[in-house]
């Protein structure tokens, strides 16, 4: 079962493209901002088997513009997240195109340009329902995620501190920074500036090509490090690209152009408002102070969205935590995994965290 035929057909959001996944029925789901997502579905994929004690669970939400598929490369029998040992749940974000999203919800049911604003905590409440109601799980060995996955990880450990034993927020923050808010505003503008966007009511899934191309351009500016571009010939060659133009067309545009603009905007708005301190009346220190998990805060050096020091600022507020910065030329996109050695280093950190006795 999937939502792929429910409204605007887009070949990107299909099981052909993303592999099998399941849908959990959230019913009429009330959102943090008061609106209701009717007949809401949470898409997810699992790896491995839930043991009888139900104590071998890892939850691994994904980043902006991603799906469960993008996290699969971190799961393997020779990796820290070993599916013969763990039961791994990969939830899809609300609005990501596989879960309930603008493009798969008809306008008359609140889709497309009518789709409500979703907050990070809505995803976490939906995932909590999946974990507890569908699987009867009350303990997570590890919650981890990259970028918006880190935002979700933080929300998990602040909202449900007794459920999570270990956590690894990677290249993301518990509270969005003003700088990131401006960046996200700029990249939303990139899409919305295209007249074809039409306030979210287009009928051709690929009508907003110019807006998506502009959106890819601004990602190319902030997504990687200046150092990556500085060492460009060497770094591109290693990544399989010939030039800036080739890199723009065959990396950034290749990634974003198949996607649905309203879906991206829904995720962007969520990112823009990510803030665990809504759990504690705006007191970030109080929010992070109640975390019980063992936490590795893992920023990437050269990350222009989430500089190491912004992550360190929050890490210092988390009782049982360590800062573990990873050097990489790719900046924020280190976790995209273009370089095998980056994946290996990330895997090592995850392995060490899983071996922490808590």
User: Which residues of this chain interact with a copy of itself, rule CB under 8 A?
Assistant: 177-179, 181-183, 185-186, 189-190, 193-195, 210, 214, 217-218, 220-222, 224, 226-230, 232, 244, 248, 304, 307, 309-310, 313
Structure tokens that stand for 339 in this block: 């370089």
- Which CB sits closer to a copy of itself, 112 or 190? 190
CA distance 39 to 235: 46
Task: Provide, rounded to whole angstroms, the least separation between the CB of residue 178 and a copy of itself.
Answer: 4
Instruction: Give the DSSP letter of residue 316.
Output: T
Give long-range contacts, CB 8 A cutoff, 24+ apart: 303-308. Answer: 303/171, 303/225, 303/331, 303/332, 303/334, 304/222, 304/223, 304/225, 304/331, 304/332, 305/147, 305/171, 305/180, 305/183, 305/222, 305/332, 306/147, 306/150, 306/171, 306/172, 306/173, 306/177, 306/180, 306/332
- Which CB sits closer to a copy of itself, 218 or 257? 218
- Which CB sits closer to a copy of itself, 265 or 293? 265
- Which CB sits closer to a copy of itself, 289 or 307? 307
CA distance 298 to 150: 9
Task: Provide, rounded to whole angstroms, the least separation between the CB of residue 244 and a copy of itself.
Answer: 5
Task: Provide, rounded to whole angstroms, the least separation between the CB of residue 259 and a copy of itself.
Answer: 19
**CA separation, residue 66 to residues 71, 165, 241 (Å):** 9, 25, 22
Query: Which of 70, 194, 275, 303 is labelled catalytic?
Result: 303
Structure tokens that stand for 288 in this block: 């992070």
Task: Provide, rounded to whole angstroms, the least separation between the CB of residue 65 and a copy of itself.
Answer: 18
Query: Which of 18, 68, 332, 349 is labelled catalytic?
Result: 332
3-class SS of residue 307? coil
303 counts as catalytic: yes
- Which CB sits closer to a copy of itself, 29 or 252? 252
Burial class of 327 by CB neighbour count within 10 A (0 to 12, 13 to 18, 19+): exposed
Task: Provide, rounded to whole angstroms, the least separation between the CB of residue 70 and a copy of itself.
Answer: 23
- Which CB sits closer to a copy of itself, 77 or 283? 283
332 counts as catalytic: yes
Sheet of strand 166-170: strand arrangement = 22-30, 36-47, 87-91, 57-59, 142-146, 166-170, 294-297, 321-323
- For residues 29 and 37, the answer to whether their CB atoms sit within 8 Å is yes
CA distance 350 to 74: 10
- The strand pairing partners of 144, in sequence order, are 168
Strands (E), 104-221: 142-146, 166-170
128 counts as catalytic: no
- Which CB sits closer to a copy of itself, 182 or 358? 182
Task: Provide, rounded to whole angstroms, the least separation between the CB of residue 210 and a copy of itself.
Answer: 8
Task: Provide, rounded to whole angstroms, the least separation between the CB of residue 231 and a copy of itself.
Answer: 10
Instruction: Give the DSSP letter of residue 61.
Output: -
Query: Which of 147, 225, 321, 328 is labelled catalytic?
Result: 147
Residues involved in catalysis: 147, 303, 332
């Amino acid at each position: 079962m999937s939502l792929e035929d429910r409204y605007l057909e887009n070949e990107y959001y299909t099981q052909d493209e993303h592999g099998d996944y399941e849908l959990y029925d959230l019913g009429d789901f009330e959102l943090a901002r008061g609106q209701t997502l009717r007949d809401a579905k949470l898409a997810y994929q699992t790896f491995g088997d839930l043991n009888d004690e139900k104590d071998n669970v890892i939850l691994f939400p994904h980043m902006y513009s991603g799906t469960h598929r993008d996290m699969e490369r971190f799961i393997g029998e020779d990796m820290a997240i070993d599916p013969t040992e763990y039961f791994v749940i990969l939830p899809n974000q609300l609005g990501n195109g596989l879960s309930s999203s603008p493009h798969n919800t008809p306008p008359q049911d609140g889709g497309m340009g009518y789709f409500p604003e979703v907050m990070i905590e809505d995803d976490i409440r939906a995932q909590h329902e999946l974990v507890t109601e569908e699987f009867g799980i009350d303990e997570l060995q590890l919650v981890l995620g990259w970028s918006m996955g880190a935002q979700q990880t933080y929300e998990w450990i602040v909202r449900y501190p007794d459920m999570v034993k270990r956590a690894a927020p990677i290249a993301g923050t518990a509270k969005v920074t003003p700088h990131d808010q401006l960046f996200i505003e700029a990249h939303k503008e990139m899409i919305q500036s295209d007249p074809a966007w039409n306030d979210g009511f287009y009928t051709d899934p690929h009508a907003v090509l110019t807006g998506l191309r502009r959106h890819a351009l601004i990602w190319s500016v902030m997504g990687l490090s200046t150092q990556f571009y500085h060492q460009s010939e060497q770094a591109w060659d290693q990544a399989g690209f010939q030039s800036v133009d080739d890199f723009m067309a065959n990396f950034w545009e290749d990634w974003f152009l198949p996607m649905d603009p309203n879906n991206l905007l829904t995720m962007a708005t969520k990112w823009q408002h990510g803030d665990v301190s809504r759990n504690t009346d705006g007191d970030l220190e109080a929010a992070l102070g109640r975390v019980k998990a063992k936490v590795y805060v893992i920023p990437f050096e050269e990350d222009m969205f989430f500089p190491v020091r912004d992550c360190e600022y929050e890490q210092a507020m988390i009782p049982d935590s360590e800062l573990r910065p990873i050097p990489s030329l790719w900046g924020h996109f280190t976790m995209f995994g273009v370089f095998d050695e980056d994946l290996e280093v990330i895997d090592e950190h995850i392995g060490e965290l899983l071996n922490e006795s808590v």
